[in-house]
Amino acid sequence: MGIIIKTPEQIEGIRRSSQLAAQCLDFIEPYVKPGVTTEYLDDLIEKHIRENGATPAPLNYHGFPKATCISPNNVVCHGIPSKKIVLKDGDIINVDVTTILDGYYGDTSRMFEVGEISDKAANLIDTTKHCLDLGIQQVKPGNKFGNIGYVISRYAQSKGYSVVYEFCGHGVGLEFHEEPQVEHISRRNSGATMKPGMIFTIEPMINLGKAKVKVDKNDGWTARTADDELSAQFEHTILVTEDGFEVLTDIHNEY
């Protein structure tokens, strides 16, 4: 129990799975266009994952029916890919990919623009990405997990947005969801202490309007903003190193 400290061998396995998950997001980018369905995108990603010798972690996870989560506009997270959801010009979508490669999990998501999007949507996306980056900068041995949610919420709220509190980041690697829960809104210096070899996600969901979320009563998964305003999310899988962090899902040497 508690927060798992991964061995060097486990870290290498989780790194490889994380890089495949990130690569799936690059792979799908050219297909995100007005007129395509989210089911089509999900099918393409599932094939890509399997061609690379891995499996999609969401499929059958607590009954989830698809390989990825695809969440448009007012969907906060856990959107179920569907042939009924047709992308249109101006939509924003989050695609969330979790791979299992040689038994190891990697988890990452980012936003895609469908055609031309509004300035208000673009600003929400930029702020949400910056929230993730601020959270990542808090990752180093000895720091408290609460400081991740402290810096994220302070920045998001300074821009007039709200932070979803009903879904969190999480330990990841040997299982899909491990301890700890990584809050995106929390008190300064609260929570557990980060140690080298810990691996977890940071995945802030930031709302244009109110923070409150409602889960679809029919499918039991799709989480929408209660006020039906836009929501955005970015996610990386991060390793605590001896002197800071390594973003395992960063395949562009951004960090």
Please give the residue ranges that form the binding site for ligand MF3 (CB under 6 A).
58, 61-62, 64, 69, 78, 96, 98, 107, 201, 203, 235
Q: Which residues face 52 on adjacent strands?
A: none
**78 contacts which partner out of Co ion, ligand MF3, none, CB within 5 to 8 A by kind?**
ligand MF3
As measured in angstroms, the least distance from the Cβ of 242 to ligand MF3 is 26
Question: Contacting Co ion (CB under 5 A), which of 17, 201, 233, 249?
Answer: 201
Residue closer to ligand MF3, measured from CB, 46 or 96:
96
Task: Kindly state the helix (H) or strand (E) to which residue 41 belongs, with its residue range.
Answer: helix 38-51
Q: From 165, 127, 133, 159, select the one nearest 148 (Cα to Cα).
A: 133
Nearer to ligand MF3, 169 or 197 (CB): 169
Rounded distance between C-alpha atoms, residue 251 and residue 183, angstroms: 25
Q: How many residues bind Co ion (CB under 5 A)?
A: 5
For residues 231 and 228, give the distance between their C-alpha atoms in angstroms, rounded to a whole number: 9
Residue choice 42, 46, 91, 96 for contact with Co ion (CB under 5 A): 96
Q: How far is the CB of 223 from Co ion (least distance, A)?
A: 13
- The neighbour count for residue 47, using CB atoms within 10 Å, is 12
Rounded Cα distance between 33 and 36, Å, is: 6
| Residue 125: strand, helix, or coil | helix
Q: Which stretch binds Co ion (CB under 5 A): 26-34, 38-46, 108-116, 238-246?
A: 108-116
- Residue 46 or 107 having the CB closest to Co ion: 107
**Which residues have C-beta within 8 Å of that of residue 119, sequence separation ≥ 6?**
none
Q: Which tokens sit at 201?
A: 């996600």
Residue 225 structure tokens: 């903003």
Give the residue with the Cβ less far from ligand MF3, 35 or 204.
Answer: 204
Please report whether residue 73 would count as binding Co ion according to CB under 5 A.
no
Nearer to Co ion, 106 or 191 (CB): 106
- What residues make contact with Co ion under the rule CB under 5 A? 96, 107, 109, 201, 235
